[in-house]
Structure 1
């Protein structure tokens, strides 16, 4: 039995972190039965990072490593039809999403224009959290952003970087519902993990403004929402 450990939901999205939602969506698309355990404490996770899975007696962290493990061990066919060039594109998209992650996280924890709305939503939906605890998490994230680099950007420059990433995704999705045709693959799960965590949050960041203004991004997210069985609706 597979158990997915990831951050809790927010605004009806199954995980308020893009990487955990990516694994959730992949498992749903692949038709794999799994238990989903929502946690805030990552101390038991490999590298102290969420998400991770426990698959029988194996514990695996990192979303890409998790997906590679699941495909190999359970002979999942979701990506079987991909060409070598498509697999290269999938790799490039996952790296682009790594960049988008930092801007999306910055918009929640760093930007004073949006932090209060994000904090209040967490406190409202997860009563076990405290304002003091969230402030400590904010301080921790501020250190991460500084050393990664995005924390040294002014908001306008940070969002310009994020919307450039989103424009590339919008271009990729302009021809069909999914990246590589009429059927979803793991790259669609990856994109959904991040776009859903922008679109379905009623916090009007520049990232959300961009997504809402691009029908191809909205269409992909909505189609994926239905495919993975989520119940969230745009705010």
Structure 2
């Protein structure tokens, strides 16, 4: 039995992190029996990040490594794709995880109107009297990271303009079928839709959330992927079977 260590559900999504949502969807696609264990503090995990899985005495961190492990067990996330389609799939995954993701971070951590909801949701395990002090220091480091990365130096309007070509690339791929590479979900959908659904789920009202939430094609796509891959993620806070 595989155990997935993940952040708890948040804002109606399987997990507070799109990478954890991706891991949940890959596990569901893989056909492996698995259970989830929700963690609030990732510092004991490799690289101090989630998701991670424990299987056969191994602790495997990072959603890409989880994918590779599941493929080693026989999962075929890109079955039927040509070599050219697999190359394009990898490019879409990198677009989602190395660019689109940081727009979510900026929307949630850098926006003064959104941050209080993020703080109270992500860090509710910290005693209330200490929560602001501890999380404000953490927020400062995240904001500084967005400054180094670059997006934190831009206005919301500038960020949305930079993201728009990515969204158009996704919409163009969806001309071909219900999913990015045809009529069934593949690994690229697990990454791309995880980012889009987290954009749409951000609390409050931001330009990015509005752009995704008001796009009928993107919303139908998000919902299709979630229906196909994410039905069995509900947890009561303890480990729960998601086979």
Shorter-chain TM band: 0.7 to 0.9
1:75 positional shift: 0.5
Aligned to 1:151: 152
Aligned to 2:103: 103
**SS of match in other structure, 1:36:** strand
**SS of match in other structure, 1:174:** helix
1:159 positional shift: 2.6
State the TM-score, normalized to the length of structure 2.
0.85
Contact 1:13 1:230 (C-alpha < 8 Å) held by counterparts: no
**SS of match in other structure, 1:43:** coil
State the TM-score, normalized to the length of structure 1.
0.88
Aligned to 2:240: none
1:86 positional shift: 1.0
Change over 3 Å in CA distance of 1:198–1:13 after alignment to 2: same
In the alignment, which of 220, 228, 231 is matched to residue 229 of structure 1?
Answer: 231
| 1:148-227 aligned within 5 A | 148-227=149-228
1:71 positional shift: 0.7
Contact 1:159 1:206 (C-alpha < 8 Å) held by counterparts: yes
Residues 12-56 of structure 1, C-alpha deviation per residue, up to 9 Å, x if partnerless?
A: 211111111111111112222211122232222222222111121
1:162 positional shift: 2.6
Residues 84-107 of structure 1, C-alpha deviation per residue, up to 9 Å, x if partnerless?
A: 011111110111112011111100
Change over 3 Å in CA distance of 1:170–1:203 after alignment to 2: farther
Contact 1:7 1:38 (C-alpha < 8 Å) held by counterparts: yes
1:211 positional shift: 1.1
Alpha-carbon distance between aligned partners in 1 of 2:63 and 2:154, rounded to the nearest angstrom: 27
Alignment of 1:20 onto 2:6: no
1:197 positional shift: 0.9
- Cα RMSD over matched residues? 2.1
Alpha-carbon distance between aligned partners in 1 of 2:201 and 2:140, rounded to the nearest angstrom: 26
Aligned to 2:237: none
5+ long unaligned stretches in structure 2: 235-243
5+ long unaligned stretches in structure 1: none
1:155 positional shift: 2.6
Contact 1:7 1:17 (C-alpha < 8 Å) held by counterparts: yes
Aligned to 2:83: 84
